[in-house]
Amino acid sequence: MKKGFILLALIFCASLLFADGGPTPETGEVEVLHWWTSGGEAASVAVLKELLEAEGHTWKDFAVAGGGGDQAMTVLRSRAVAGNPPTAAQVKGPQIQDWAAEGFLTNLDDVAEAENWDGLVPKVIADIMKYKGNWVAVPVNVHRINWMWVNPEVFKKAGAKIPKTWAEFEMAAKKIQAAGMTPVAWGGQPWQEITVFETIVAGVGGTDFYNKTMVQADPSAINSPTMVKCLETLKMMKQYTDPGAPGRDWNLATAMVIKGEAGMQFMGDWAKGEFTAAGKKPDVDYIATHAPGTSKQFLFNVDSFIMFEVKDPSAKEAQKAMARLILEPKFQEVFNINKGSIPVRMGMSEDPFDIPAQLSMKDFTASAKTGDLVPSMAHEMATSRAIRGAIMDTVTAFYNSDMRAKDAAAQMANAVRSAQ
Ligand code: BGC
């Protein structure tokens, strides 16, 4: 009789505990919006899904194709406006602040404190992830923009030398063209064009000029002879691209270098993810080196996830698990090896990483010391979306028309001024 009563009492207490407001169930679902759809990207994001599912959570994939994420951001905004945002989304740079200011985001301070994120993430990056001192985003990696991906066979066949300056680039490109191959694998999409453009700005103009134009967006620095030179360098490249360039996706451009159809591509190191996915080895099948004139600079691009405010306690648990896993050493290693980036978590061993990643790790630290570690404008780390849009529209209009470089520089300064 007494035993029966105790058992009933226990069941009653347990039912109270799991009713609303009681301890949360342990597993839940996260719906993740991202734009990682190429071969290398898909292999990378699969790592996070597996780790999360190993803890019993469910990963609902919401991939929006389109390199650079412009399409993904449009879809995210329309879902948020409709009151139906996903639980987690790949969002970067100053946009994190915008989402937080609008009150959409979950505060991640409890995970950050338990896991000591402040001690693990470089301050320059942690500051981007915080809103009013609170963690509202979790960083995934550090990508570098100013790379040149080279097929050594193509260069050998053409008798060309890997360029270190834009003058040397022209010499090499002419030789490759004369040998019947495409010098530059070009993806003719606006975000790819500004990715190459900002690399030229850093290489031709130097770090101060890059900061004045691409970070501070100073109209008088933009409307200048140095900017004219940068624009002319961009236009000069066009004659070394193929007729299939307009609209081409970045990973298809990388495939041209992998297959030996083109000599080189200028792209961030997510391109390395494609070489890795194709089983290619650095310094054997391909060479990864600094884009002309940028050996000291590191144009950084940090991927990150924001978590939207949710009511369901099990979804909250899943969000926290995802945030925690992202900065754990296991994910940082496997993901970044596949993705082509380097860990954002400090103190990771360099040993498992390949030659380009080790070079990137070394350069990240060195460039931070010399003031040459600068945020990417093209990848939304440096300016507002409006200013990036103004620069992108001008560069694309210039690249795809007969506009004079001088007029384009003036137009860019005006467009930026109206976006401020
Ligand atoms: C992202 C990368 C992604 C690339 C191509 C960049 O903006 O940071 O993670 O691989 O776009 O889509």
Q: Say what the pLDDT of residue 7 is.
A: 47
The ligand 1 atom nearest the CA atom of 37: 12
| Dist. CA 99 → ligand 1 center (Å) | 20
- Cite the DSSP H helix spans in 248-401: 250-258, 270-277, 313-326, 329-339, 355-370, 385-399
Tell me: do 307 and 387 sit in the same domain.
no
Structure tokens at 370: 């010399």
Tell me: do 132 and 160 sit in the same domain.
no
Tell me if 6 is assigned to some domain: no
Rg (CA), the chain: 24
Tell me: do 246 and 202 sit in the same domain.
yes
Tell me if 261 is assigned to some domain: yes
Tell me: do 285 and 212 sit in the same domain.
yes
Tell me if 2 is assigned to some domain: no
Classified as helix, coil or strand, 21 is coil
Q: Say what the pLDDT of residue 13 is.
A: 45
Q: d(Cα 121, Cα 345) in Å, to the nearest integer?
A: 5
Q: d(Cα 418, Cα 390) in Å, to the nearest integer?
A: 9
Strands 262-266 and 182-184: parallel
Q: Say what the pLDDT of residue 25 is.
A: 53
> What is the domain-level CATH number for residue 292?
3.40.190.10
Q: Which residue has its alpha carbon closest to ligand 1 atom 10?
A: 270
Torsion from C-alpha of 199, 291, 250, 350, nearest 10 degrees? -110
Q: pTM of the prediction?
A: 0.93
The ligand 1 atom nearest the CA atom of 380: 7
Structure tokens at 280: 């290619």
Query: Nearest to residue 148, comparing CAs of 106, 115, 196?
Result: 196
Tell me: do 88 and 199 sit in the same domain.
no
Tell me: do 78 and 197 sit in the same domain.
no
- Contact assessment for residue 187 and residue 253, using Cβ atoms and an 8 Å cutoff: yes
Structure tokens at 389: 């849009």
- Going 40 to 44 to 49 to 55, the CA torsion angle's sign is positive
Residue 174, H or E segment: helix 166-178
> In what side-by-side order are the strands of the sheet with 88-90?
58-63, 29-34, 88-90, 304-307, 137-139
Tell me if 21 is assigned to some domain: no
| Dist. CA 284 → ligand 1 center (Å) | 25
Distances in Å between the Cα of 260 and the Cα atoms of 101, 149, 253, 257 are: 48, 12, 11, 5
| Dist. CA 27 → ligand 1 center (Å) | 30
Structural domain total, the chain? 2
Q: Which residue has its alpha carbon closest to ligand 1 atom 9?
A: 303
- Indicate the top mutation candidate among 301, 326, 341, 385 to test ligand 1's pocket, ranked by most ligand atoms within 8 A of CB: 301
Q: d(Cα 267, Cα 136) in Å, to the nearest integer?
A: 29
Tell me: do 80 and 182 sit in the same domain.
no
Tell me: do 163 and 50 sit in the same domain.
no
| Dist. CA 179 → ligand 1 center (Å) | 33
Strands 147-150 and 262-266: antiparallel
Tell me: do 117 and 237 sit in the same domain.
no
Q: Say what the pLDDT of residue 16 is.
A: 46
Q: Which residue has its alpha carbon closest to ligand 1 atom 8?
A: 303
- Indicate the top mutation candidate among 45, 64, 143 to test ligand 1's pocket, ranked by most ligand atoms within 8 A of CB: 143
| Ligand 1 pocket, CB under 6 A | 35, 41, 67-69, 143, 270, 301, 303, 379
Tell me: do 166 and 258 sit in the same domain.
yes
Tell me if 15 is assigned to some domain: no
pLDDT tens, N- to C-terminus, the chain (420 residues): 455 555 445 444 444 444 444 444 579 999 999 999 999 999 999 999 999 999 999 999 999 999 999 999 999 999 999 999 999 999 999 999 999 999 999 999 999 999 999 999 999 999 999 999 999 999 999 999 999 999 999 999 999 999 999 999 999 999 999 999 999 999 999 999 999 999 999 999 999 999 999 999 999 999 999 999 999 999 999 999 999 999 999 999 999 999 999 999 999 999 999 999 999 999 999 999 999 999 999 999 999 999 999 999 999 999 999 999 999 999 999 999 999 999 999 999 999 999 999 999 999 999 999 999 999 999 999 999 999 999 999 999 999 999 999 999 999 999 999 999
| Dist. CA 410 → ligand 1 center (Å) | 30
The parent domain of residue 199 ranges over: 147-300+378-419
Q: Say what the pLDDT of residue 10 is.
A: 47
Tell me: do 398 and 272 sit in the same domain.
yes
- The neighbour count for residue 279, using CB atoms within 10 Å, is 8
- Going 69 to 75 to 81 to 85, the CA torsion angle's sign is negative
Tell me if 78 is assigned to some domain: yes
The ligand 1 atom nearest the CA atom of 141: 9
Tell me: do 155 and 211 sit in the same domain.
yes
The ligand 1 atom nearest the CA atom of 302: 8
- Contact assessment for residue 419 and residue 387, using Cβ atoms and an 8 Å cutoff: yes
The ligand 1 atom nearest the CA atom of 270: 10
φ and ψ at residue 299, rounded to 5 degrees: -85, 110
Query: Nearest to residue 215, comparing CAs of 124, 150, 285, 287?
Result: 124
- The neighbour count for residue 225, using CB atoms within 10 Å, is 10
Query: Nearest to residue 218, comparing CAs of 193, 203, 201, 234?
Result: 201
Tell me if 9 is assigned to some domain: no
Q: d(Cα 276, Cα 264) in Å, to the nearest integer?
A: 16
Q: d(Cα 245, Cα 237) in Å, to the nearest integer?
A: 12
Tell me if 372 is assigned to some domain: no
Q: d(Cα 88, Cα 272) in Å, to the nearest integer?
A: 26
Q: Which residues contact 280 (CB under 8 A, 6 or more apart)?
A: 258, 286
Q: Which residue has its alpha carbon closest to ligand 1 atom 7?
A: 68
